[in-house]
Amino acid sequence: MALLQPDKACEPIVVVRGLTKHFLVGRGFFRKERAWLHAVDDVSFEIARGEVLGLVGESGCGKTTTGRMLVKLTDPTAGCILIDNEDVAAIGGQGMREFRQTVQMIFQDPYESLDPRMTVFDIISEPLNVNHIGTLVNREERVAYMLSRVGITPPDMFFFRFPHELSGGQRQRVAIARALVVNPKFIVADEPTSMLDVSIRTGVMKLLAELQEDFGMSYLYITHDLAVARYLCDRIAVMYLGKIVEMAGAEEVIKNPLHPYTQALISAVPLPDPAIRRDVPNIRGGVSKPIDPPPICRFHPRCPAARSICSDRDYPDLAEVSPGHLVACHILVAR
C-alpha cells in the first residue's frame, strides 16, 4: 500500500463518468403522457487535486443539478461519480458522515442557507458536533480560527450573533467558514457571489481564491458569469442544455473559444468600456427546455455554423482538438 501513496497526489479528486439526471415532467392531472427533462445528460469530467473547475452556463443548463449530484443532494439517473476514489452512489449510513467531511457545498443565497435560529457559533460548530470532532474548547478555538480566516474579526464578537444581525457579505463568509471547518478536500460552490453587491463580491471572491491556495482544496465553481470564472478557475467547462460543449484552460476558453455557443456567450458579455462596440452575437432564438430531446446536437437549431451533419448524426462527443482543449461539435472535429 505504501508504494501506492506517491501516485495518490496525481490522481484526480473527482472523476465523473456519464453523469445523467432526468426529471419527470408533465405528469399532471390533464397530461397523461410522461415526459423527461434531460437536465444533465452524459456528462464526464475530472477535477485534479488543488484544481478549480468552473462550470459555466445559462440558467437551466443543468449546472446546479450537476453540483448537487456531486455532493449527493440529488441522486443521478445514470453514471458514476468517484470522489477521492470512493463511489458516491454506494455511500450510506456512517459513510455519509465521513463523506460530508470530504465534500462540502457553499450555496448561492446566504439569506436562505443559514438557520435563522442558530447563532454564528452554533452554525459553524455544528459540522464538528455531528462528527464528534474535538472537545468544546477545541471547537471554540477552531470556530474562532475559521471566522478570522474568512475575515470576520474579532471572532468572539460574532459568536453569539444571529444571521439576521449580519450583512449579506458577512453571512456568505459564515457559510464559507461552515463549509471549511471540517477541512474538506472538495467543495462545490454554487454561485456564491452572485447575490452579493459589487463592492462586497470582490472581497468574497478574493477570499475564496486565497483559501483555496492555503488549504489546497479543489472546487467545482458554478457560475453564469464568464468573467468571474476566468478570475477564479483553472479550467472552465461550458454547459448547454445538459451537455458540456467545451472544456479547456480558463484563459484558453476566454481568448480562443471554439464552440459556436461559447463564442456567442463571450460576445454577449457587456464590457465596461463605452468606446468598444461589440459584434452582435451570431445566434438565433432562445434557450428551450431539453424535454425528451432527440439524440442530436442540442445547439444546432441556433447554431450559425450548423450544417446537415449536425442534424443527421448523433450527439457529438467531446473531442480533444488541441492539448487540453475539448469541444463537442461535428464541424470543428471534422476539420
Partner 1 sequence: MDALLKVENFTMHYRTTAGHVKAVDDVTFSLARGQSLGLVGESGCGKTSIAMSIMRLLPYNSEIKSGRVFLGGQDVYSMREEDFRKLRWKEVAMIFQAAMNALNPVYTVGSQITEVILEHEPAASERDARERVAELFCTVGIPEERMDHYPHEYSGGMKQRAVIAMALACSPSLIIADEPTTALDVIVQDKILREMEEIRRKTDMSMIYISHDISVIAEVSDVVGVMYAGKLVEIGPADDIFKRPRHPYTYGLMNAYPSILGEKRDLATIPGEPPNLVFPPEGCRFHPRCDWATDECGTVEPPARYVGPNHSVACYNPFPAPSSGGDRIGVATA
Max Cα–Cα distance, the chain, nearest Å: 68
Q: For the CB of residue 58, give the shortest distance to partner 1 in the complex, in Å.
A: 4
Which one, 57 or 127, has the nearer CB to partner 1? 57
For 74, 75, 184, 299, the CA distances from 126, given in Å and listed in that order, are 22, 25, 15, 44
Which one, 289 or 325, has the nearer CB to partner 1? 289
Which one, 65 or 104, has the nearer CB to partner 1? 65
Long-range contacts, stretch 136-144, CB < 8 angstroms, 24+ apart: 142/181, 143/177, 143/181
Q: For the CB of residue 275, give the shortest distance to partner 1 in the complex, in Å.
A: 7
Task: Output the DSSP codes for 75-99.
Answer: --SEEEEEETTEEGGG--THHHHHH
Q: For the CB of residue 200, give the shortest distance to partner 1 in the complex, in Å.
A: 6
Name the residue with cell 476514489: 85
Which one, 61 or 70, has the nearer CB to partner 1? 61
Helix ranges (DSSP H) in the chain: 5-8, 63-70, 94-102, 120-130, 136-149, 155-158, 168-180, 198-215, 226-232, 250-255, 260-267, 308-312, 330-334
Residues that bind partner 1 (CB under 8 A): 58-59, 167, 169-170, 197-203, 205-206, 224, 226-228, 230-231, 251, 254, 264-266, 268-276, 278, 280-281, 283, 286-287
Which one, 10 or 280, has the nearer CB to partner 1? 280
Which one, 13 or 229, has the nearer CB to partner 1? 229
309's CB contacts (< 8 A; 6+ apart) are 330, 331, 334
Tell me the CB-side half-sphere exposure of residue 39, using CA atoms within 13 A: 20
Q: For the CB of residue 100, give the shortest distance to partner 1 in the complex, in Å.
A: 31
Task: Report the 10 Å Cβ neighbour count for 95.
Answer: 12
Cα-Cα-Cα-Cα dihedral sign, residues 7, 12, 13, 17: negative
Q: For the CB of residue 162, give the shortest distance to partner 1 in the complex, in Å.
A: 17
Enter the DSSP assignment of 134.
S
Q: For the CB of residue 165, give the shortest distance to partner 1 in the complex, in Å.
A: 12
Q: For the CB of residue 274, give the shortest distance to partner 1 in the complex, in Å.
A: 4
Q: For the CB of residue 297, give the shortest distance to partner 1 in the complex, in Å.
A: 18
Contact predicate 88/72, CB 8 Å? yes
Which one, 53 or 83, has the nearer CB to partner 1? 53
Q: For the CB of residue 254, give the shortest distance to partner 1 in the complex, in Å.
A: 5
Q: Exposed, middle or buried by CB within 10 Å (0-12, 13-18, 19+), for 215? A: middle
Using DSSP, state whether 5 is helix, strand or coil: helix
Which one, 102 or 148, has the nearer CB to partner 1? 148
Pairing of strands 52-56, 218-223: parallel
Comparing CA positions, the residue from 83, 166, 177 lying closest to residue 128 is: 177
Which one, 188 or 265, has the nearer CB to partner 1? 265
All cell numbers assigned to 319? 473531442
